[in-house]
Amino acid sequence: MKNIAVIGAGTMGNGIAHVFAQYGYTTNLIDISPTSLEKGVATIAKNLDRMIAKAVISEEEKAKTLAKISTYTDLEQGVKNVDLVIEAASENLALKLKIFKELDILCEPKTILATNTSSISITQIAAATQRPDKVIGMHFMNPVPIMKLVEIIRGYSTSNEVTELIMALAHKLDKTPTAVNDYPGFVANRILMPMINEAIETLYNGVAGVDEIDTVMRLGMAHPMGPLQLADFIGLDVCLSILNVMYDGFKNPKYAPCPLLANMVMAGKLGVKSGEGFYDYAASRKAETVSKQFQ
């Protein structure tokens, strides 16, 4: 594998493109918005500068990494002659199915199609294509350039050859791939999201306040950040979407989203990206604190 395409220039997409380009892969970053592509490349450059400041890479390595990245607003051009496509668009089933149907038509038969979904069924996504054996999940963690884990999710029809190839590829990116089976939420979010949801329920029931809940989990359980702060960092809308996927998939009430979470999302309080969630980032500048923890 030498040529990679990444769909979506947002937080996850530009992070995935950054890592592939840094490790020498020719990388096409695709988004329907030219502005999003500009912001994505600017973010990559900024993160490379941080690595230079920490003496992780050199100026020359930064230049080589950026030279490996090309941007496209046209999907057909962006996926032409690539070995692997990684979809990192919004966590929306209808959108992902649409993208994979198009990819199946536009990509060469040999091309492997991967999704960075954090909860949606790989088997369901693969069924939208004529190559379900070549569809797999690659769930990178945020921030991608720093976090080592990649959940490799095998759909019902994903071949052994493709699974082994993607596992080996993750190792070449200096990541730690972990193979999991295709069930709602996989492993990471099946464990994480109920914890976050329970923290929100604890707040909703008046057991303790935001700072108190997060302090207990940080100092008592040695978590790097509390679950409510982490939910703000992930995005409350994303948390709600993942919980809904698990609730629909398992039909188990323990995955039902807390009413407080649903109301906050409806009110547009999505966390860091909207400026307010469980914390008021505009007033307290906690957004800056959060980002520094991941630099």
Q: What is the mean pLDDT of each run of 10 residues along the chain (295 residues)?
A: 96 97 98 97 97 96 98 98 96 95 98 96 98 98 96 98 98 98 95 98 98 98 97 96 95 97 98 95 61 47
pLDDT for res 3: 98
List the Cα angle 172/111/249 in 5-degree steps. Answer: 85
pLDDT for res 295: 43
State how far the Cα of 6 lies from the Cα of 12, in Å rounded to an integer. 10
- Is 118 a known active-site residue? yes
pLDDT for res 16: 98
State how far the Cα of 133 lies from the Cα of 141, in Å rounded to an integer. 24
pLDDT for res 62: 98
* Angle of helix 59-67 versus helix 34-53 axis, rounded to 10: 160
Tokens of 286: 């906690």
How would you class 64 by CB atoms within 10 Å of its CB: exposed for 0-12, middle for 13-18, buried for 19 or more? middle
State how far the Cα of 121 lies from the Cα of 245, in Å rounded to an integer. 9
Q: Is 118 annotated as a binding residue?
A: yes
- Is 284 a known active-site residue? no
The residue from 47, 189, 197, 241 that is catalytic is 189
Q: Is 291 annotated as a binding residue?
A: no
- Is 223 a known active-site residue? no
Strand pairing report for 149-154 and 135-140: antiparallel
Which structural domains are found in the chain, ordered by start? 3-181 (3.40.50.720), 189-287 (1.10.1040.50)
Tokens of 200: 């929100």
Tokens of 12: 């996850």
> How many H helices and E strands in the chain?
15, 8
Q: Is 12 annotated as a binding residue?
A: yes
Tokens of 22: 């840094």
Q: What SS3 state is found at 163?
A: helix
86 near 80, Cβ under 8 Å? no
pLDDT for res 289: 52
pLDDT for res 282: 84
